Amino acid sequence: MSLLEVKGLTRLFGRLRAVDGVSFTLEAGVILGFIGPNGAGKSTTMRMLATLDLPSSGEVLIDGHSAIEEPDRARPLIGYMPDRYGTYEDMTVFEFLDFFARAYRLKGKERRERVQSVMEFARLTELKDKLTSELSKGMKQRVALGRTLLHDPRLLILDEPADGLDPRARIELRELLKALAEEGKAVLISSHILTELSEICDACAIIEQGKLLAQGPVSEILARAQGGGATELCLRLAGAGEESLSWAERLLLEQPGVSKVSADGAGLRVRLEPVGGQGAPGWVEEASARLLRQLIDAGLPVCSFQVREADLEDAFMSVTRGRVQ
Amino acid sequence: MQAAGELSLEPAGPARARPKGPKLGNRLSDLVSPIVVKEIRQGLRTKVFWISFGLLLLACLVIALFAYADQRAGRGRTGDFYFARFTSCLALVQFFVVPYAAYRSLLKEREGETWALLALTGLTPRRILWGKLGSFLLQGLLYGSAAAPFVLFCYYLNGIDLVTILVVLGLGWPYAAFLTAAAIGVGTLGASRPGRAVAHFGLLGFLLGATFIGQAVSSLLARESGLIRERLFLPVAAGILWVLLSFGAVAFENAAARLSPPTLCYSRGPRLAFLFQLIGSVALAHWVWREEGRKAELAAGFHIACCALVAMVGLHLAADRDGRGLLRRARPSGWALLRPGALRGFRLVVLALLCSSAHWLLALALSKNVNDVPTGVLLGMLAAPCYLLLYLSLALVVGRIRFLSSLTEPAASRLAFVALMALAAAGPPLAAVLCQRRPDEVSFNHFNPVLGLVNFMGPGLNLSFGGGSVPMLLVLGLTALSALVLADWVLHRRDQRTG
């Protein structure tokens, strides 16, 4: 059984379908990136998963407990961090965490040790006596993450946690999330900083206009973005003028498997497709080696030749159409 | 790059350094609501607390110095004079600063998104608001401790007895609690920024007025201590305490309901508070009516007051959202009157109104021969619930018309009720004047909830069919019934669709 099962989740605001039949699952120890443009329905979906809003239809099961029918059973399993961190400005880091630990009904020694443990994990021990108003955005974000961990939830729902963070704070966040996933926690993280997500997510779900357009392991999504096995090559010619480039273009288009050649600044971008449908394992390497040999044999001064790996940005751009509600 | 530390889920071993702190304090704080601990921590860190505390202390000290100088000079001002001054200073803090701070605290919680985080901890909105109310009353006690030695000093100046001091302080505390609960209630109003701004200014005006009234009453009781020994003082004080308690409870429960996530059964508390208030008010009014010799006019007055109470408080329940049932799979029936939804709220209010009306009519019928009851009283008692039902039903239907859809359903219905009542009360007299008739002309004001009621209760109409009063009442009753059926049908349909 998956830790999180979302089935046909729909949320209507009047006539607007903010979330439209979203379904996906999330296993323990997996980080799932929830990707979509602003207004796609990410935060609305996350609020429903966190039992803060009621869907118009559909079901959310967290470790088998319905977040709609039994929110009191589901809540202890959830650690939710909204897009605004939600800290009390006039409390110290320790007081803030201590207060939420009390709210989660942790008492006495257990509470003190839990707060201590969370502070150590999120590297907040040195900041414990600082007012949260004196903290940087990255530090506040760590405090907010610490708060979500106080009651030891199994599912973390993090809404845009990397938004507005500097590169160092982002790297630190990434490390913390990886450590949490290694401990067996399921992490659902939304973001529109796709390069960040691609480095930490095991799986991703792409949402636009409330509809889930693609979901699955990151490798599958990337393969799909490449259009059924197609890949792209980038090449540059040393000191090449327009004549050399057009000659190279003509030569490349004559090669089997090359479906498109386009200019890319001072170089060329080549779209390569397996001949006769799906390519055998290693076909990209073989085809690109053959192309390179042809170019060199033809006397073209190739100075750079590389297979361009598809990333989440490509997947996102190929799946979404930039529509907003 | 430092690696992330390990998050130990097990309790730490003995080697782990434990944070030091007062053991007794920690144990005691475990027994208190976490919200109280938090609010006290935050409250004691604010400038407002320390400035108010310091100014109160300073003001009391200055007044005490004047008192001392007066005594030395033999000017003859006694303890009651200075007690009134001390309580005025204390009232400013207790009736204005503390409730306003409670309002600000809740507003910050809502605006800073921390409310949702609190709701996820498993603390119910009612528990959170109790914690806030309790902590701000505790802050009030801290302020009180600053003024306490000076109040005691008044007693030794003579001119005021201990009973007066205790009664004034004893009445002041529930008044402060009521104002704090009301301020917390206002803190939950307004989903938008302009709405919150209106609520903010409304609260400031309300608290200033309430502080002035509190200061005036405490000064009056201090200077005229004989009032406390009057026969009427006890029932009036009990009535005021009841009003404070019941309206405080209603404001508190409505606040908790407004802040409840939709996955909680938010409607139970406000509806029980409404029933508690109505039943308590009817019981208290019945007791007063019996003590005052069971006068028919008094029964009519209390009955109309109960109708007004139902209109004021019940409107909030009837103007609920459509069909937001807690459990979608087990949709509550239309008669599960404590469950969410406008249909159930409306039916509860109608039933409560009918029960209250039946009580007063039955009490009157059982106490005297019905023929002895003045006609106007009987007509007024029958007409009052008809007017309320008519305009409440119409407001619920009008509030759901599409052109008002930019407003939320509850706000649209409440606004429609106020607008319809105002239109029905002011429109007919104006029309009568334009037609060069008397403003209170019966034929013009048949559906006027104010002048119509006055006309029914006046001497001009009688119970005979020939006098026209019974057909008029029948027309009013049938119109109210039609509106009631229409509203119930509309709400039932919407409940089915959106439940």
pLDDT digits (tens, 9 = 90+) for A247-305: 888 888 888 888 888 887 778 888 887 776 656 667 778 888 888 888 888 888 888 88
Give contacts of B19 with chain A, Cβ < 8 Å.
94, 112, 115-116
* Residue A321 is assigned to a structural domain of this protein: no
**Least CB–CB distance from B121: residue in A67, A87, A100:** A100
d(CA B215, CA B89): 8
Q: Does the beta carbon of A159 lie under 8 angstroms from any beta carbon of chain B?
A: no
Instruction: Report the candidate in A114, A138, A143 with the shortest Cα–Cα distance to residue A128.
Output: A143
CA distance to partner chain B, nearest, from residue A50 (Å): 8
* Residue A324 is assigned to a structural domain of this protein: no
Shared domain check, A123 and A78: yes
Shared domain check, A291 and A235: yes
DSSP-assigned letter for residue A65: E
Q: What domain range includes position A266?
A: 231-309
pLDDT digits (tens, 9 = 90+) for B412-440: 889 899 999 999 999 999 999 999 888 88
**Is residue B376 within a helix (H) or strand (E), and if so which, with residue range?**
helix B375-398
pLDDT digits (tens, 9 = 90+) for B203-261: 999 999 999 999 999 999 988 878 888 888 888 999 999 999 999 999 999 999 988 87
- Terminal-residue alpha carbon distance, chain A: 34
Q: Which of residues 129-168 of B touch A (CB under 8 A)?
A: none
pLDDT digits (tens, 9 = 90+) for B369-418: 666 788 888 889 999 999 999 999 999 999 888 766 556 668 888 989 99
Shared domain check, A109 and A22: yes
* Residue A322 is assigned to a structural domain of this protein: no
CA angle, A24 then A29 then A34, to 5°: 40
Strand partners, A307: A233
Q: Which amino acid is at B338?
A: L
d(CA A127, CA A94): 8
Final residue of a domain: which of A203, A224, A245? Answer: A224
d(CA A204, CA A189): 9
Q: CA–CA distance from B404 to each of B390, B395, B401, B412, B415 (Å)?
A: 20, 12, 6, 6, 10
> Is B178 in contact with B170 (CB distance < 8 Å)?
no
> Is B214 in contact with B91 (CB distance < 8 Å)?
yes
Shared domain check, A85 and A9: yes
Shared domain check, A251 and A154: no
Q: What integer pLDDT is reported at residue B12 of this predicted model?
A: 36
> Is B422 in contact with B439 (CB distance < 8 Å)?
no
Backbone angles phi, psi at A5, to 5 degrees: -125, 120
Give contacts of A187 with chain B, Cβ < 8 Å.
none
Shared domain check, A164 and A201: yes
d(CA B322, CA B491): 7
* Residue A148 is assigned to a structural domain of this protein: yes
Final residue of a domain: which of A209, A224, A239? Answer: A224
Residue A79 sits in a domain whose CATH number is: 3.40.50.300
d(CA B129, CA B124): 9
**Least CB–CB distance from A54: residue in B11, B30, B262:** B262
* Residue A317 is assigned to a structural domain of this protein: no
Q: Domain count of chain A?
A: 2
Instruction: Report the candidate in B386, B378, B385, B375 with the shortest Cα–Cα distance to residue B461.
Output: B375
* Residue A325 is assigned to a structural domain of this protein: no
Shared domain check, A88 and A181: yes
Shared domain check, A82 and A9: yes
> Is B267 in contact with B321 (CB distance < 8 Å)?
no
Shared domain check, A180 and A209: yes
Q: Which amino acid is at A160?
A: E
CA distance to partner chain B, nearest, from residue A205 (Å): 25
* Residue A157 is assigned to a structural domain of this protein: yes
CA angle, B408 then B411 then B414, to 5°: 145
pLDDT tens series, chain A, 325 aa? 789 999 999 998 877 899 999 999 999 999 999 988 888 899 999 999 998 888 888 999 999 999 888 888 899 999 999 887 778 888 999 999 999 999 999 988 899 999 999 999 888 999 999 999 899 888 898 899 999 999 999 999 999 888 777 788 888 888 888 999 999 999 999 987 777 777 788 898 989 889 998 888 887 777 776 655 667 788 888 776 777 888 888 888 888 888 888 887 778 888 887 776 656 667 778 888 888 888 888 888 888 888 777 677 777 777 776 555 5
Shared domain check, A106 and A21: yes
d(CA B221, CA B216): 9
Residue A235 sits in a domain whose CATH number is: 3.30.70.100
How many angstroms from the chain centroid is the CA of residue B150? 33
> Under 8 Å CB-to-CB from B142, ≥6 apart: which residues?
B53
DSSP labels for A44-65?
A: HHHHHHTTSS--SEEEEEETTE
Shared domain check, A132 and A65: yes
pLDDT band at B201 (very low <50, low <70, confident <90, very high): very high
* Residue A181 is assigned to a structural domain of this protein: yes
CA angle, B285 then B288 then B293, to 5°: 125
Shared domain check, A270 and A211: no
Final residue of a domain: which of A170, A189, A224? Answer: A224
